[in-house]
Amino acid sequence: MYHRCTHFVNAESFLKQRLLCITVVDRAEDAVPLAEALLAGGLNVMEITFRTAAAAEAIQRIRQKVPRMAIGAGTLLTSEQVQCAIDVGAQFGVSPGLNEAVLNTAGERDLPFFPGVMTPTEVDRALNLGWRHLKFFPAEPAGGAAMLKALAAPFAHTGVKFVPTGGINAATLPNYLTIPQVAAVAGSWMGERKLIQEKAWSKITALTAEALKVVAQQKG
């Protein structure tokens, strides 16, 4: 079994703003204006999920045309997808669950990665595999911030950090930011699929700026 040697600096570099926008891109040509809209709102990190045929090309276009944007690949379910994400320039990877084959490939290629967990057993397993930055998913259906706070408590001394994802919106964002073990909050409300399809770039910029204001207020 490959044991991941965690690189905190690599993973944490993508979480400095405490906010991550998750997007589903149906048309590769929408990738660059989407990235530019998020940047205009102040956010320099985003994730494109591997749920559409356009995902790989979308990531590649952003790496080539929008170098200021840190871009990750989400919903990585197989080792082959991890390799594809790396090949097109993804700077980090995310999975909904704790797939050891996926983690082994990410670890061997030194790709910063956020595997998904929801239970104490999964957190324990991830820590034993050497992973310290974990996606808490699906956050809201699993019990929201209260659930994550209770889940994090027994593991706080390990240095584990969570990125809650799933059903979070502008209204619930502050609830997660108060939890010390939350490195960043991930959500799709800033760049919803419909907004991208409608090319509502100014709306995406406005929603992003509003979310970052909430983060700034929490820091203050």
Structural domain boundaries, residue 181: 9-219
Between 3-17, 60-74, 147-161, 194-208, the lowest mean confidence (pLDDT) is in 3-17
For residue 1, being part of any structural domain is answered with no
Q: What total of structural domains would you count in the chain?
A: 1
Residue positions annotated with a catalytic role: 47, 135
For residue 167, being part of any structural domain is answered with yes
Position 2 scores a pLDDT of 36
Q: What confidence tier does 115 reach under pLDDT thresholds 50, 70, 90?
A: very high
For residue 4, being part of any structural domain is answered with no
Q: Is the pLDDT of residue 7 over 80?
A: no
For residue 41, being part of any structural domain is answered with yes
For residue 2, being part of any structural domain is answered with no
pLDDT tens-place string over residues 162-191: 999 999 999 999 999 999 999 999 999 999
Virtual torsion, Cα 108, 109, 113, 118, nearest 10 deg: -30
Position 219 scores a pLDDT of 80
Give SS3 for 120: helix
Q: In what side-by-side order are the strands of the sheet with 45-49?
A: 113-114, 92-94, 70-74, 45-49, 19-23, 185-187
Question: Identity (one letter) of the amino acid at 199?
Answer: K
For residue 3, being part of any structural domain is answered with no
CATH code (residue 47): 3.20.20.70
